Amino acid sequence: MSIQTAPTPAPARSRDGSGLSFGRILRSEWIKVTTVPSTVILLAITLVVMVGLSTLYAWQLAVSVGFMADASPEMQAQMGGGMEMFREQALMAPASGYIFGQLLIASLAVVLIASEWGTGMIRSTMVAVPTRIPALLAKNLIIALIAFILGAGAAFISYFIAQPILSSEGLDFALTDDGVLRSILNTGTYLAFIAVISMAIGTLLRNTAGGVVTAIGLFFVFPVIIVNIIQGLADWIPDAARFLPTNAGDRMLMFPAEAAGQLSPLEGGLVMAAWAVALLIISLLVAKRRDV
């Protein structure tokens, strides 16, 4: 031990086949999502709130119809084809939690990526995956998948909870009825696109508060402002507002599927997908170039 030896050569490394791969990066991002307790709690809350809201929606619909049935014959006559309108509204019951679900999913997606910048974790991530894009893509894929399962799952659960409530007034319907499965599955698709758009915003802004405000502005405030305040300024404004991500995307869930002056479910879905893909690509390119 006391004998001075020449510097030993680099130790032989036996790590055949080990190294970066997209599957492994996905696994890493999955570990990250599941090991921050607040993320798991927020997802559970989202599920409960979505199912709860659509239960309330079905209940208020049943109460309204029951109230109408008890009303005088003249009033019923006045309402005319009211029953047909309620039947269409009942079909929206499974998906109706999406309004609030998108708020929580958008916040979660922003937080997942922006907190990496906030805490400095992003530097560890990008030293481990220095090409950067695979890590960000993996994170997007995982949040999109979670949002899809959560959205479609909540809509399915809501369907089964809503049926007994609606059946008291004869408003119940089958999964096989026209458009029902489309609306349930697309609740997931819609939330997946919301997640990707929000994550792109979080990546670009690198700031949780700013990202959440921007996402909610884009999804809620902006469409309302356009529709209610400035639409009178020019004819093309309400026309163009149909192509905002949420206005286009919620056509995927709505009944009736085809309505005059509205995008079809497929068109709406494609428009929202275009927003998601465009923002995703921009965010990847910016994150790839930027210093962290």
Partner 1 sequence: MIEAQSLSKRYGAKTAVDNVSFTVQPGKVTGFLGPNGAGKSTTMRMIVGLDRPTDGAVTVNGKPYPRHKAPLHEVGALLDAKAVHTKRSAYNHLRALAATHGISNKRVNDVIELTGLGPVAKRRVGGFSLGMGQRLGIAVALLGDPQTLIFDEPVNGLDPEGVLWVRNLAKGLAAEGRTVFLSSHLMSEMAVTADHLIVIGRGRIIADAPITEIIAGQDKIRTLVRTDQPEELRRELENRETTFTQLEPDLLEITGRDPRSIAEAALARQILIYELTPRQSSLEEAYMELTRDQVEYQSQAIDQPEAPVPAAEATLISGGGKSA
Contact set with partner 1 (CB under 8 A): 7-11, 13, 15, 18-21, 24-25, 27-29, 31-32, 35-38, 115-116, 119-131, 135, 289, 291-292
CB of 202 to partner 1, least distance (A): 14
Nearer to partner 1, 10 or 229 (CB): 10
Q: What is the largest distance, in Å, between two alpha-carbon atoms of the chain?
A: 109
* Residue 5: CB minimum distance to partner 1, A: 9
Cα angle: 263, vertex 260, 190; to 5 degrees: 30
Nearer Cβ to partner 1 (104/135): 135
Say if CB 268 and CB 249 are below 8 A apart: yes
Q: Which token pair is 141?
A: 């894929």
Minimum CB separation of residue 128 from partner 1 in Å reads 5
Measured over the CA atoms of residue 180, residue 280, residue 127 and residue 43, the dihedral's sign is negative
Closest CA to 191 of 291, 85, 100, 84: 100
Q: Looking at beta carbons only, is 129 or 154 nearer to partner 1? A: 129
CB of 122 to partner 1, least distance (A): 8
- Count of residues in the chain: 292
Q: Which is nearer to partner 1, 84 or 291 (CB)?
A: 291
Q: What is the DSSP string of 201-248?
A: HHHHH--HHHHHHHHHIIIIIHHHHIIIIIGGG-THHHHHHTTSHHHH
Task: Give the Cβ contact number of residue 69 at 10 Å.
Answer: 11
Q: Which is nearer to partner 1, 113 or 184 (CB)?
A: 113
Task: Report, in Å, the least distance between residue 129 CB and partner 1.
Answer: 6
